[in-house]
Amino acid sequence: MTDVFKGNFTQQEPIPEAAIEAAVDVMRHGRLHRYNVADGEAGETTLLEEEFAAQMGAPYALAVASGGYALATALRAVGVKPGDRVLTNAFTLAPVPGSIASVGAQPVYVGVTEALTLDLEDLAWQLAQADHPKVLMLSHMRGHLCDMDRLMEICDAAGVTVIEDCAHTMGARWNGTLSGRHGAVGCYSCQTYKHVNSGEGGLLVTSDEEIAARAIMLSGSYMLYSRHLAAPDPEVFERVKYVTPNISGRMDNLRAAILRPQLQDLEAQVDRWNARYRRLEAGLRDTPGLTVIDRPEPEHFVGSSIQFLLLDWSADGVEEVLRRCAARGVELKWFGAPEPVAFTSRYDSWRYADAPAMPKTDRVLAGIIDMRVPLTFSLEDCDQIARIIRSEVSAVFQAGGAASGV
Ligand SMILES: Cc1ncc(COP(=O)(O)O)c(C=O)c1O
């Protein structure tokens, strides 16, 4: 009998009881706006920022309405102006170039390697050009970290400010340093499919007092910034408060209440994700025609999704694999599709930005297959999914589908 997987790829775990209780408390007292606090009360949002800053080893943190808002705020806070060019990954998702466009700047794409990380040679080449962009919005897309030591060397030498998009790397590390702590600003998403879930929400961290003060003013703090606990001293705000616009995008106390207990569980959740990832990876290894992405030793990743390559396969062959896996209950996404589908799109789908031909990147994108790994999957589910993918990839490959179309 054909093995069919019955699980749901978009079903996350329920919100933990402690978070539900904290949320109910907020609703009972009714003070949902972050600056609506009782005498002596800090408020859930402020406490979330204080705890997240400590967890990330950062002096300053800010909670906002979404990950995309955190990215745009970071761009504004480091001084990106309309008309500026900002380097970013060709392999990422729409909110990343979207955040650049939202401040009136232009994305300039850097290629992707077969390790699914930013192509550092391409980056070095871009930075060797006269008048190169001064900011890199680095997306750790699908949790793959490039050599962050080398990246920072390249960017520091060229005077480039790095903003890290850690939507897929909250809790990950490179050589022991937490993702988001290499660049000037680290930005995180708390949207349902990420590592903590408040429906929508974002966080950012920085060690730079002016960036922090500007970000807090930008997020819509009016003149209430002194209520923040993970914030610089008031004199820093004196320097920025008249020249920094209020672009409201605050987090509220209800979401913050839901997030605080989840952040305490983050490390344990990372271990659970990685146990599932390793089972999938082991089950996929040595499948003919399929390339597993080897994870570098210095990378401590969060396996909340898994990717593999069907490198140099025909489009028909890839589509046949996707169709056959879907018929057996396994939902795979493909970054090579010519048209954007659901959450998945490519750099050349974002037609508001110039995209010169990127043949090396196109070759990799055409082979990237992507799958969510929700924590509602058991280890046995992961074994079953890997078995299904393995058998369908092998069947199409052996029938010659990889090269010639089917
Ligand atoms: C790579 C990446 N960066 C940023 C974001 C933006 O996060 P949010 O949905 O919280 O705005 C997402 C969301 O899917 C993402 O996948």
> In the listed set 264, 289, 309, which residue is the last one of a domain according to the structure?
264
Residue 361 Cβ contacting ligand 1 at under 6 Å: no
Exactly one of 6, 81, 134, 194 is catalytic; which is it?
A: 194
- Closest to 69 measured CA to CA, from 246, 208, 202: 202
User: Where is the domain boundary, 264, 284, 314?
Assistant: 264
**Does 11 fall in a domain?**
no
73 Cβ closer than 6 Å to some ligand 1 atom: no
Supply the pLDDT for residue 13: 97
Query: Residue 277: is its pLDDT beyond 90?
Result: yes
The Å distance, Cα 270 to ligand 1 centre, comes to 19
- Annotated catalytic residue 241: no
Q: Residue 316: give the domain boundaries.
A: 267-404
Is the pLDDT at 405 greater than 50? The verdict is no
Radius of gyration in angstroms for the set of CA atoms belonging to the chain, rounded to a whole number = 22
Q: Which H/E stretch holds residue 204?
A: strand 202-206
Say whether both 280 and 253 belong to one domain. Answer: no
Domains of the chain: total:
2
Quick count: other Cβ atoms within 10 Å of Cβ 156?
11
pLDDT, tens only, 112-134: 999 999 999 999 999 999 999 99
Q: Is the pLDDT of residue 404 over 90?
A: no
Question: Domain boundary residue among 238, 264, 290?
Answer: 264
What integer pLDDT is reported at residue 338 of this predicted model?
A: 86
167 CA to centre of ligand 1 in angstroms:
6
95 Cβ closer than 6 Å to some ligand 1 atom: yes
Q: How far apart are CA 44 and CA 259, in angstroms?
A: 9
In the prediction, which pLDDT does 234 show?
A: 97
Per-residue confidence (pLDDT) for residue 1, from 0 to 100: 64
Q: Is the CB of 170 under 6 A from ligand 1?
A: no
Ligand 1, atom 10, lies closest to the CA of: 67
Residue 258 has pLDDT above 70, yes or no: yes
Q: How confident is the model at residue 406 (pLDDT cuts 50, 70, 90)?
A: very low
User: H or E element: which one contains 101?
Assistant: helix 95-102
Both tokens of 207, joined, read 């060690």
- 67-77 helix and 95-102 helix, angle to the nearest 10 degrees: 40
pLDDT tens-digit series, residues 6-48? 999 999 999 999 999 999 999 999 999 999 999 999 999 999 9
- Is there a contact between 185 and 77 (Cβ–Cβ < 8 Å)? yes
d(CA 207, CA 60): 6
Note whether 196 and 254 are same-domain residues.
yes
Q: Assess whether 160 and 255 both reside in one domain.
A: yes
Beta strands in 73-156 (DSSP E): 85-89, 106-110, 135-139
Pocket of ligand 1 contains residue 384 by CB under 6 Å: no
User: Which domain CATH number covers 79?
Assistant: 3.40.640.10
Do 83 and 223 share a structural domain?
Answer: yes
pLDDT for position 403: 78
Where are the strands (E) in 65-112, listed by range? 85-89, 106-110
- The C-alpha angle 84, 191, 309, rounded to 5 degrees, equals 75
Per-residue pLDDT tens for 171-217?
999 999 999 999 999 999 999 999 999 999 999 999 999 999 999 99
Ligand 1 atom showing the smallest separation from residue 142 Cα: 1
Output the CA 301–ligand 1 centroid distance in Å: 17
* pLDDT given at position 378: 98
Q: Are 144 and 301 in contact (CB under 8 A)?
A: yes
Regarding whether 375 and 332 lie in a shared domain, the answer is yes
pLDDT surpassing 60 at residue 346? yes
Q: Is residue 397 part of a domain?
A: yes
pLDDT at 364 over 90: yes
pLDDT value of position 171: 98
Summarised one tens digit per residue, pLDDT across range 48-63 is: 999 999 999 999 999 9
DSSP three-state, residue 132: coil
pLDDT in tens, 68-94: 999 999 999 999 999 999 999 999 999
Type of residue at 148: M
